[in-house]
């Protein structure tokens, strides 16, 4: 009987607990702490944002 109960516990408890913990993390995690890792270094620099309305001379200065 105890074996059967333990087997049932092994089958049910992890799933319910996993769902509960993920729900708690999603709703109780402080937003200021952020989610996800820092961006991985790719070795490539980000493209420089360019304002399409700016005159060509300013764009060049900005990119330089």
Partner 1 sequence: MEDPEILQQAVDNFVKLIPLGFLVGGYGAMVGAGGGFLLVPVLLLLLPDASAVSLTSISLTVVFFAAYSGSISYARMGRIDYYNGLLLAAAGVPGIILGRMAVKLIENRTPFELGFGLILLALGLYLALRPTDDGTPKAPYEETNGQSGRHWGAIGSAYVAALSGILGIGGGFMRVLLMTKLMRMTPHTATATAVFILALLALVGNVADVVTGDFFEGINTTMFLAVGVMMGAPVGAALSQKIRGSSLIRLLALAICIVGGKLIWNAV
Binding interface with partner 1 (CB under 8 A): 2-3, 6-7, 9-10, 13-15, 17-19, 21-23, 25-26, 29, 33-41
Nearer to partner 1, 7 or 60 (CB): 7
Nearer to partner 1, 33 or 51 (CB): 33
- Name the helix (H) or strand (E) containing 26: helix 2-28
Nearer to partner 1, 21 or 54 (CB): 21
For residue 62, give every residue at least 6 positions away whose Cβ sits within 8 Å of its Cβ, in sequence order, or none.
48, 50, 51, 54
Task: Quote the least distance from Cβ 56 to partner 1, whole Å.
Answer: 32
C-alpha to C-alpha distance for 12 and 31, rounded to whole angstroms: 31
């Amino acid at each position: 009987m105890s074996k059967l109960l333990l087997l049932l516990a092994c089958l049910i408890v992890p799933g319910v607990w996993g769902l509960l913990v993920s729900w708690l993390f999603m709703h109780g995690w402080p937003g200021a702490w952020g989610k996800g890792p820092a961006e991985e270094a790719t070795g490539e620099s980000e493209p420089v944002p360019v304002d399409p309305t700016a005159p060509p001379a300013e764009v060049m200065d900005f990119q330089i």
